[in-house]
Chain A
Amino acid sequence: MTPSAWMEFALFLGLLTVLTKPVGLYLGQVLDPRGRTWLDPVLKPLERLTYRVLGVRPDQEQDWKQYTLALLLFSLVGCLFTYILLRCQAWLPLNPQALGALSEHLAFNTAVSFTTNTNWQSYGGEGTLSYWSQMVALVLHNFASAATGIAIAGALVRSVARSAAKTLGNFWVDLIRCTYFLLLPFSVVFAVFLVSQGMIQNFQPYTKAKLMEPIPIQVPVVNEQGEAVLDAAGKAVTRPGTVDEQVIVQGPMASQVAIKMLGTNGGGYANANAAHPFENPNPLSNFVQMLSIFALGSGLTYYLGRETGNQAHGWSVWGTMMILFVAGVLACAWAEARGNPIHQALGVAAEGNWEGKEVRFGIFSSALFATITTAASCGAVNSMHDSFTALGGLVPLFNIQLGEVVIGGVGAGLYGILVFVVLAVFIAGLMVGRTPEYLGKKIQAYEVKMAMLVVLVTTLSILGFTAWAAISPWGLAGLNNAGPHGLTEILYAFSSATGNNGSAFAGLSANTPAYNLTLAVAMLAGRFLMIVPIMALAGSLVQKKSSPPSAGTFPVSGGTFVLLLLGTVLLVGALNFLPVLALGPVVEHFLNLQGQLF
């Protein structure tokens, strides 16, 4: 790593640390229905009006079942809404490119993807979606799914903080307050900043530029539905063609990108996502975008400490995440800086592995971005993860498989790591000779059951779908690479979908009915089959009496706890993926060393 890389990394960690407390304090005000913010004069009347229109009684709290039901209904309606809009795209306004409607499976996949905060994109950004679809159908979820995540985290934290209570808060209030007081104003400010850096924000049709040097290419043959035509071997059929002009994307980009980062959505406006010069104009915009991915998730750990009256616990959880994060960044940056062993053997090696990276950002900023976006379940990318070295690509994949708990998605990261906290407390808590307690709440059969359900769902979805795809014609048809690298591509797709990350390893033609459907199911499982047990866990915890801390209480802060949590995340969360990783990136790495490529 170069000195400038070290400086960038140090600056990133420093700013993140500084941001954590103020963001956490602000979250505390947002998640408290009686909380005060400096936006109250403007937004409070709007908030009250919204309650009145929707018939929400903000003082009426919900138990876990009511809360979860409201959340599920809201997500279902939102998902249907988006599906319908995408299917009707051709007839809707703000469509200067006259883009057609999406196919059933693609619209379904996309609607699910944005509802679940995954933002997996089987479609190609500017080539598929109109301004209307981007600004209405998708952006709704960019806000709502993020607010939902934060709401659940808030409900779970309340369940620990309250003693012998029944209710967890009101979903509608949490949703509306997170949107109005947190996501909207932050996004507006952020978008203005992005525009100042050169990001576009307009409603003009795409412009065209004539190429100085036409490029001959192989064009895939498509049928009437816009799907690739496959030959007998399952490979895409191509015909020769020439490119002599370039279409330059236009549209309301800054407004989309701000919430894409803040809400850890990650769905790019343009197909190239944050590697596109409009979507990520310069190193400063790159740096601030990276910071904004982590900002809310990091602040939530502070909120946890504050609400439960144990700030050291909040920082310990944050610290655990940071250890995993720093280790990931260093590993990824090391592998990428080391470069391709085959190039080195041939004596043509550049400094590091430049394939698939933007020269504007360089190797370290690309590795850092890749680690952040996968640690935080964001999924925006500024480089091609598929082109990383075997070990460099292993880091983003491993991050996702940890369960998206290294900062994680907004809200999702916190409730994800709290599942591991519950397991860590249960396993090790017995070692202090008492029924395990988490901040005074006894961890018993029901809690263990719900926590393990989350682990089971993740494992089942990732391993089950990957295994199915790896031996099915529909799974293998989409592969552009053979051998271990191909396995990694499939594994990455289902890990990303289940972890609600949304980044793609690429190299996999996922816009097929089978992939669109299986990935959508994986996204739904990874989101809602996790949320329901977690809400049940919260419902059980909130009813428990909080026993006061004493010298015999299991400590949930400090070095020992951090080690313990780290061990639990690694042993219970990630150990399950070791065998398949051994057959994927690990074998690929060793074969690369022997000069074999995939």
Chain B
Amino acid sequence: MIWAALVILIVVLAVAVPVAAGLGILGLGLSELFSKLPLSLAMGEMAWGTSNNFLLVAIPFFVLLGEILLRSGMAERMYNALVLWMPWLPGGLMHSNIAACAMFAATSGSSVATAATIGTVAMDEIEKHGYSERLFLGTIAAGGTLGILIPPSINMIVYGVLTDTSIPKLYLAGIIPGLLLAGLFSLTVLIFCLARPALGGRRVATSWDARIRALPDLLPPLVIFLAVIGSIYAGWATATESAALGVIAALGVAAWRGRLTPRMLLQAFEGTMRTTAMIMAILIAAYFLNFVITSIGLTGQINRYITSLGLTPVELLVVVVIFYFILGMFMETLSMMVATVPIIAPIMFKAGYDPIWFGILVVILMELAMITPPVGINLYVVQGLRQRGKIDDVIIGSAPFVVTMLVMIAILSLWPGIALWLARAVSN
């Protein structure tokens, strides 16, 4: 059954059928092959149930927030300010990319929105300053994934709901690993540029005066961060509601900049809904697929198999990481979480792993999935912004950061306190 599923999936995706349709066809195919019951009849109810799920509303909210900030000029100003502060490092603007992604991640819960926003403002710089295109694209694709590790985070919301884990605690737990991972990304760039200085591009001229003058441009992201994150800890809003507050704060920033016009809003709507429709199409198909997979007993099979192995906790962890690495190559992250976390998480908790810690691990594994081919959504976002060349450039440019993330996973496993310390310190 597992093999049939994998073969259908790989064939359908290899011939470039849209991913949403591919997952849906896989669901229909598995139901046809392995179920006595007419599972396809559930498609309507499943589609409606998925489409109007309140938790998923955070997706368009965070995408809209990014679109508004992009069109308000805030993202560009923030990026340019960071450019002035970063040029002394070998690799120059690529560090600004990562820093800008990390900073933007503090306002947005979506990796797609983070990569798209920073990518849009950064893309013109490649030729201007003579960077190695591939590594530069890689910093945006990988840096963008920080969107779900540094709070707020859609994936943490979904994990929290799937496992009944506190979302605000997950948010706190994501901060240090998020900053650490951003640092490791920069370190990766540094290593590459020291080894091959040609990758690094020309330096941007700057002065302390210009740097100081650019500082106020870093303020608006802080305001949005406070609106989204502050509202949760101040007892105003739940994590999902806070995404809506972020949208309102972004509108405020745009209005303050004098950029809030009907035309600008309509453009933001277009970008938001195109991305939302694309993600939701995949999720609708994935929820149906998940229903079929559990109905035909595939989930139970996997579950029993893993339990029957009788693994030690460390072995179990290794197996889970490999499992997500492989599955993450082929699946969109939210749908993958919906399909697997309810099975894997209880096994991990039983083996003694902390739910908050495991949540952070899962989020990093999802980040990994976003930049591994063939289905890596950030690869596609960056390629979509670029509108030229082959996607292979983005894939190759992101490859070093895949290794970086694996290192991050090792660090997190050896020192779980990196994730747990802040969550515990604040709750006590």
> Do A and B belong to a common assembly?
no
